Amino acid sequence: MPFAVGSQVGPYEIVAPIGEGGMGAVWKARDTRLNRIVAIKQLKEAHSARFEQEARAIAALNHPHICQIHDIGPDYLVLEYVEGKPLAGPLSAEQALPLALQIAGALEAAHKRGILHRDLKPANVMVTENGAKLLDFGLAKVGEDDPDATRTVEGTVMGTAAYMSPEQARGRPLDARSDIFSFGTLLYEALSGKRAFTGDSMLETLNAVVSSEPPPLDSPLDSVVKKCLAKDASERFQSVAELKAALANPPTKTEKLQASIAVLPFANMSGDKDQEYFSDGLAEEILNLLAKIPGLKVIARTSSFAFRGREQDIRKIAQSLSVNTILEGSVRKAGSRIRVTAQLIDANDGSHLWSERYDRQLIDVFEVQDEIAAAIAGSLRLKLRTEGRKHTPAAPAYEEFLKARHYLRNWSPESASKARECLGRALTLDPGFALAHTELCRVFVIMATENSMRPEEAAKLMRESAQVALGIDASLPDAHWLLAMAAVLDYDWERAGQEFRSALSQEPVSADIRIYYSFFYLAPLGRMKEAQEQMERALIDDPLNFVARADLGAYLFLEGRLRESEAVQNQAVELAPGFFIPYFHLAYLQVLQGRLTEARASAEQCFANAPWHPGTAGLLAGILSLLGEGAAARKLMNRLGDGSTLGSPWGFVSYHAVRSECDQAAVWHERLIQQRDTRAPFIAVSAFGDRLTSSPRWPALRRMMNLPA
């Protein structure tokens, strides 16, 4: 029976109607027991399961900007009574920003509990004297056991058409990025007073969501809204934490938007693919020069170079990277001569802000780099630091250096060995080339991490190369973080912390430094909140960095955010299908959830991408043994021999951890520690860390690595 004013519903007296919604009528009521005003949502019978779901969703949350649930009855919910008005625009950026941050904070709290809202819209945000309140979790998706459906019956889409994400409109599986799209529609409407997507019918509105772009906003928050509204979920903010970071320090109404740039890989016009190292190296060197310009946001190399070979509109690339200018160019190298063309493009309209062609001798390549950086600074009305080059390497040494960097982009023992040869030649030609000494340190990091060099030898060589580099140029931050990695190999955490802090103290801080600081220092010491913050900061500067994304997915797993963790690992796979680490994490996650068939597929791809890595063989062998394929598992484990080979204990740790054989995993982990493996300290906070820490051997293993209790 419908409620009526004056009627009694359990201990609640109905006072007045508030409104009618698709999920049920809402009434103002008085709690006669506690003498307080509440809101009661009356249940429509067809939505009983949804109301129970809403109750679970809201009850799981405790946040100042989320409406609280007080009670539940057989056909009603009792909610916090919120006095205010629904969010409405147009609002200035200054008015909208505090509300946007409050809504984002509420959304982040929900996502951390595995809850997607799925119906974000202005009507579900109440503006009160104390700020915004997020209402109505009637369509929320809660926890790992809830169905992933977005439809009630065939052809009926759940949600409000104008505020859905494209994937929600298509009835596809959703993750946190769907709520981020809906947040964008909500913020667009708050700023403009108009809906981002409209149509004369639900079908037309859904079509607009899927295929149309709303008019740009005359607001400093336009770039944030645009990124939220990217049709492809991989081009949006990948978490609410990223979204909040973008909202945290926006320009005011009177400020000019921060100048920002992405440097795309320069096209190799030499007709020889082997010359790609030179065109890539030239673009990267220009990027590094631009990063030193105060006031200019420069996207890191990994993200900028992710668009190599893609025929995409410059404006779409700029939108996905949140920049307002793009530098592209080409290089033709023939003997001792080079031709470089470069053009700076305004991402708003695709127009050329500046372009130039340089025909020079190879020895003049550094002048070309400096001239391009100076021209860009002038075009953007910024000032290039004129500190000058401390050292101009000989041209042949520089070419070997660029070849080494090219090899080091492919993380493997083989590529590290080739890079070492190149750097050896570079330093023979020019012993005073400081950057070549630091790149040599990177070689030793890879060789130690991937078990092609004994860690104690690698640490010694890293210290020697880094000290030589600092003796030539004491301002090199890379030398300090590489010294920190040498200390990590010695399990000397105090020294590692000092060196990392030295590296972090010099602006600009590269994404690489933040990634290593997070994964190899903060995480092993159990400082997971700081580790996650550093990884998220790295992704702000380098949003398409697949290494940082895979590591962030591992951290989300440790928080129990399994669905988000899996989504982030899949993003890393999309960014770099040939990279083995995300498949490694996915396989363990799937094993722990009992999804052995999927785990096998992930492990097989992991092994195919890195057959040289002992851990990939152990991982796959363990999963095969769980599936009853003992012969295939033994064949893989035979590759590891008796475990005495450098790095091979990794394979046995992986094998036994997959099989929940905690003590055996701990025995092999001790051998891993004795080899000073760089990943040994991280295992305690990995997906299978509990299978080591639950062993009686763990306290002794922890002390061997000098880790805190």
Dig out the tokens for 44 from the structure: 């429509």
Residue 632 CB neighbour total at 10 angstroms: 14
Identify the CA nearest to 621 among candidates 613, 632, 638, 633: 633
Residue 305 CB neighbour total at 10 angstroms: 19
**Helices and strands per DSSP (H, E), number in the chain:** 29, 17
Cα separation values, 15 from 124, 385, 609, Å: 22, 68, 66
In angstroms, how far is CA 611 from the centroid of its own chain?
26
Dig out the tokens for 128 from the structure: 């009160």
Dig out the tokens for 511 from the structure: 């994404």
Is the N-terminal amide bond of 508 cis, ω within 30° of 0? yes
Alpha carbons within 13 A on the beta-carbon side of 633: 20
Give the whole-angstrom CA distance, residue 197 versus residue 212.
Answer: 8
Contact of 516 with 462, CB cutoff 8 Å: no
DSSP notation for 253-321:
TTSPPPEEEEEPPPEE-SS-GGGHHHHHHHHHHHHHHHTTSTTEEE--HHHHGGGTT----HHHHHHHH
| Active-site residue list | 119
Contact of 697 with 468, CB cutoff 8 Å: no
Cα separation values, 129 from 83, 126, 226, 312, Å: 8, 10, 29, 46
Dig out the tokens for 405 from the structure: 């960097």
Give the whole-angstrom CA distance, residue 130 versus residue 106.
Answer: 14
Identify the CA nearest to 144 among candidates 566, 584, 569: 566
Pairing of strands 125-128, 131-134: antiparallel
Q: Which residues pair with 268 in a beta bridge?
A: 331
Q: Which residues pair with 111 in a beta bridge?
A: none
Spatial CB neighbours of 122, under 8 Å, sequence gap ≥ 6: 86, 87, 88, 186, 189, 190
Is the N-terminal amide bond of 74 cis, ω within 30° of 0? no
Which run of H or E residues covers position 400?
Answer: helix 395-408
DSSP annotation of 707 reads -
